[in-house]
């Protein structure tokens, strides 16, 4: 059991290296290696659920057996607590489903060995990031992650904009990595250790200007990796140009790695959530993120670009809820992180399926695909309902928790913004559903077929998980979320496990209290009742529909009646699909100043985006210097 975390990381990296040697010629071999590596990793991580999540152990693992000497950490250690494992589970599920999906999805691409090599490196680095207990190791992993992600963004380099997107990601990602590195070395110069448990103990009640400066740099760097708003502009381009299985991995785990790092930083490393100003900072950037993300999404005309902006917006929910910093808020944030992985992964997979079948994701060219791709349309609707927060799907639960957490923390304006954002999310998914799956079908898509089984299976798994996490919130909360929440809040245990019992008490100078986590929360809504209601409604509609009998012969059938004759019923209707652009034009017209401003702001010039990133970092530094202690 002790070796599972390191083995799950090593397997993925080893799979990547083996693909280079054996997978460069044969397609089957590289698929086999990728499948085996990701399944082993999935199984190893899932086997950790019992000891870590249920029995509440924390796994500590000193590489090369270099244990602390005289209470001083000298080696690199892995520390897997429930918080790390929670994000680890999210990552491995995403990896596995994405790999299965990409088998058929990438069949038209050449040189897929490079795809699998980079994908396995990306996966291994995310797992390494969430399992490590060493600050510098986090930097190394985030660096591997960024470069693998940049390579994968440019994988379809024949597509317009792929190389440009990769360049943007490269520049902004490097700024993020540099900020993280600068923050890490500043901390190291102050406390002379890189072990996160020890740093956490030494920084308690001991914040100097240098460590605050490091905090601002690390917060900005990891926010850039999570693509919160002023740092976001690389994300839509990258998500749009990357293959859909990669976009799923980006929003499912690369984003989440940044979120994980932020939670680890503010809760564990700096104990910063006791400061009102840090809570406020996270809530402000989270609220801005969710609002800007969703309004930008409303104005998009490309399926994947729209999903990318929604991804940014949903990360805003997570950051806001994490910033509320009560147990309820953290529960809401982690639950929404889990749900976001599921439904956004599902939506990106449907985008991939649409692209696979039709060759485009442009909302103004598509239409009426539900007849040709019924299963894709069905899972898309599940994903769209989930992200819009309709009961009984999972988005409802976590969004409800976010509303409740923000409202109970006396942040009613934030609750209102969150509700508005949810409404706009629903609106933009009505637009997507109308322009891709419903309405009239353009002539050129008449021969479109449903995607193959190996692409449908991951989509259905994601869809079923979306429904299950929506119907059984108590179960999910009990076994996944609340252990992770208590791990994030119980810093003393995190320190003690790594540095030896009693270390935290000695350094912190007081007994380590274990915060009581109160879970009388998700009972405000009962999913089963809603499910029964929906079933009843469905039954009623069915009864009404069949009450007239199944005899439809009396109805006029198109084509053989006089309806279309000239001078009688007019002419046969021409192709008149309502395009994605045509919906919500009123809203867009009313808010034209805002949209015009956002349009001008997203200039597409890397220099501007780099300037935003640096400017926001400066604001973080000034804010933290002025307001924190």
Least Cβ distance, residue 373 to another protein (angstroms): 39
- Rounded Cα–Cα distance for residues 437 and 363 (Å): 10
In the complex with another protein, the residue whose CB is nearer, 75 or 442, is 75
In the complex with another protein, the residue whose CB is nearer, 2 or 542, is 2
In the complex with another protein, the residue whose CB is nearer, 2 or 189, is 2
- Rounded Cα–Cα distance for residues 235 and 233 (Å): 5
96, 250, 262 from 339: Cα distances, Å: 17, 15, 18
Q: What is the DSSP letter of 366?
A: -
Least Cβ distance, residue 62 to another protein (angstroms): 7
State whether residue 153 is helix, strand or coil. Answer: helix
Least Cβ distance, residue 193 to another protein (angstroms): 19
344 exposure class (CB count in 10 Å sphere: 0-12, 13-18, 19+)? buried
Least Cβ distance, residue 150 to another protein (angstroms): 16
Task: Find the DSSP H helices in 24-161.
Answer: 27-47, 82-105, 112-131, 135-153
- Rounded Cα–Cα distance for residues 192 and 30 (Å): 43
In the complex with another protein, the residue whose CB is nearer, 13 or 393, is 13
In the complex with another protein, the residue whose CB is nearer, 59 or 238, is 59
Least Cβ distance, residue 106 to another protein (angstroms): 20
Least Cβ distance, residue 75 to another protein (angstroms): 9
For residue 61, the cross-strand partners are: 78
In the complex with another protein, the residue whose CB is nearer, 65 or 110, is 65
For residue 78, the cross-strand partners are: 61, 132
Least Cβ distance, residue 13 to another protein (angstroms): 7
Sign of CA dihedral 172, 174, 175, 180: positive
Whose tokens are 């190394």? That residue is: 140
Least Cβ distance, residue 623 to another protein (angstroms): 40
Token pair recorded at residue 105: 């999805």
In the complex with another protein, the residue whose CB is nearer, 78 or 324, is 78
284 contacts 290 by C-beta, under 8 angstroms: no
Token pair recorded at residue 71: 């209470």
Spatial CA neighbour of 240 closest among 311, 293, 342: 311
- Rounded Cα–Cα distance for residues 343 and 385 (Å): 9
In the complex with another protein, the residue whose CB is nearer, 113 or 237, is 113
Least Cβ distance, residue 63 to another protein (angstroms): 5
- Rounded Cα–Cα distance for residues 30 and 18 (Å): 9
In the complex with another protein, the residue whose CB is nearer, 114 or 431, is 114
Least Cβ distance, residue 11 to another protein (angstroms): 10
- Rounded Cα–Cα distance for residues 248 and 93 (Å): 11
Least Cβ distance, residue 18 to another protein (angstroms): 7
**Given the rule CB under 8 A, which residues bind another protein?**
2-3, 6-7, 10, 13-14, 17-18, 20-21, 24, 61-65
Neighbour count for residue 596 (Cβ, 10 Å) = 10
- Rounded Cα–Cα distance for residues 409 and 90 (Å): 28
In the complex with another protein, the residue whose CB is nearer, 12 or 202, is 12
- Rounded Cα–Cα distance for residues 172 and 167 (Å): 9
In the complex with another protein, the residue whose CB is nearer, 17 or 625, is 17
Task: Quote the radius of gyration of the chain (alpha carbons, Å).
Answer: 25
- Rounded Cα–Cα distance for residues 195 and 188 (Å): 10
In the complex with another protein, the residue whose CB is nearer, 18 or 228, is 18
Least Cβ distance, residue 64 to another protein (angstroms): 4
| DSSP line for 506-571 | HHHSS-----------GGG--HHHHHHHHHHHHHHHHHHHHHT-S--TTSPPTTSSGGGSTTTT-P
For residue 69, the cross-strand partners are: 72
In the complex with another protein, the residue whose CB is nearer, 63 or 611, is 63
Token pair recorded at residue 445: 């898509």
Q: What is the DSSP letter of 270?
A: S
In the complex with another protein, the residue whose CB is nearer, 131 or 204, is 131
Least Cβ distance, residue 6 to another protein (angstroms): 5
Least Cβ distance, residue 341 to another protein (angstroms): 28
């Amino acid at each position: 059991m002790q070796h599972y975390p390191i083995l799950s990381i090593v397997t993925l990296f080893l799979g990547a290296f083996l693909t280079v040697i054996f997978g460069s010629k044969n397609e089957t071999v590289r698929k086999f290696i990728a499948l085996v590596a990701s399944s082993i990793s999935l199984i190893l991580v899932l086997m950790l659920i019992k000891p870590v999540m249920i029995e509440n152990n924390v796994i500590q693992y000193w590489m090369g057996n270099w244990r602390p000497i005289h209470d001083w950490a000298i080696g690199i250690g892995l520390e897997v607590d429930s918080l790390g494992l929670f994000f680890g589970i999210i990552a491995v599920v995403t990896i596995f489903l994405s790999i299965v999906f990409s088998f058929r999805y990438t069949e038209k691409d050449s040189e897929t060995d490079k795809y699998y090599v980079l994908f396995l490196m990306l996966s291994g680095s995310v797992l390494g990031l969430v399992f490590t207990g060493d600050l510098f190791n986090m930097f190394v992993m985030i660096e591997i992650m960024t470069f693998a992600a940049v390579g994968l963004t440019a994988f379809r380099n024949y597509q317009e904009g792929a190389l440009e997107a990769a360049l943007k990601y490269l520049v902004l990602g490097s700024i993020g990595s540099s900020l993280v590195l600068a923050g890490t070395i500043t901390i190291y110069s102050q406390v002379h250790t890189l072990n996160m448990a020890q740093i956490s103990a030494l920084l308690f009640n001991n914040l100097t200007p240098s460590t605050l400066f490091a905090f601002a740099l690390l917060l900005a760097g990891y926010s850039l990796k999570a693509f919160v708003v002023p740092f976001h502009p690389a994300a839509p381009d990258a998500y749009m140009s990357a293959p859909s299985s990669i976009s799923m991995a980006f929003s499912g785990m690369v984003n989440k790695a940044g979120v994980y790092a932020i939670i680890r930083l503010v809760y564990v490393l700096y104990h910063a959530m006791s400061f009102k100003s840090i809570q406020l900072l996270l809530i402000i950037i989270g609220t801005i993120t969710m609002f800007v993300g969703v309004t930008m999404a409303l104005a998009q005309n490309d399926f994947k670009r729209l999903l990318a902006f929604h991804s940014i917006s949903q990360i805003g929910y997570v950051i806001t809820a994490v910033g509320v910093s009560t147990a309820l808020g953290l529960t809401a944030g982690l639950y929404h992180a889990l749900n976001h992985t599921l439904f956004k992964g599902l939506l990106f997979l449907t985008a991939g399926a649409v692209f696979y079948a039709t060759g485009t994701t442009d909302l103004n060219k598509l239409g009426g695909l539900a007849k040709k791709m019924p299963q894709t349309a069905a899972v898309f609707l599940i994903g769209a309902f989930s992200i819009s927060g309709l009961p009984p799907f999972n988005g409802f639960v976590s969004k409800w928790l976010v509303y409740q957490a923000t409202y109970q923390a006396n942040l009613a304006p934030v609750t209102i913004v969150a509700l508005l954002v949810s409404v706009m999310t629903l609106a933009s998914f009505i637009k997507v559903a109308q322009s891709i799956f419903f309405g009239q079908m353009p002539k050129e898509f008449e021969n479109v077929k449903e995607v193959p089984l190996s692409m449908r299976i991951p989509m259905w798994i994601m869809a079923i998980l979306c429904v299950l996490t929506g119907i059984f919130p108590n179960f999910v909360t009990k076994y996944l979320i609340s252990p992770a929440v208590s791990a994030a809040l119980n810093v003393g245990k995190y320190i003690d496990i790594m540095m030896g019992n009693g270390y935290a008490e000695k350094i912190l100078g007081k007994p380590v209290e274990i915060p009581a986590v109160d879970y009388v929360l998700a009972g405000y809504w009962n999913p089963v009742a809603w499910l029964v209601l929906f079933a009843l409604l469905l039954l009623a509609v069915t009864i009404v529909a069949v009450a007239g009998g199944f005899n439809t012969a009396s109805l006029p059938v198109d084509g053989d009646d006089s309806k279309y004759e000239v001078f009688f019923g007019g002419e046969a209707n021409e192709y008149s699909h309502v395009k994605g652009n045509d919906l919500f034009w009123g809203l867009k017209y009313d808010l034209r100043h805002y949209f015009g401003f956002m349009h001008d702001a997203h200039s597409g010039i890397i220099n501007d985006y780099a300037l935003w990133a640096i400017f926001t970092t400066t604001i973080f530094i000034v804010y933290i210097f002025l307001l924190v202690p």
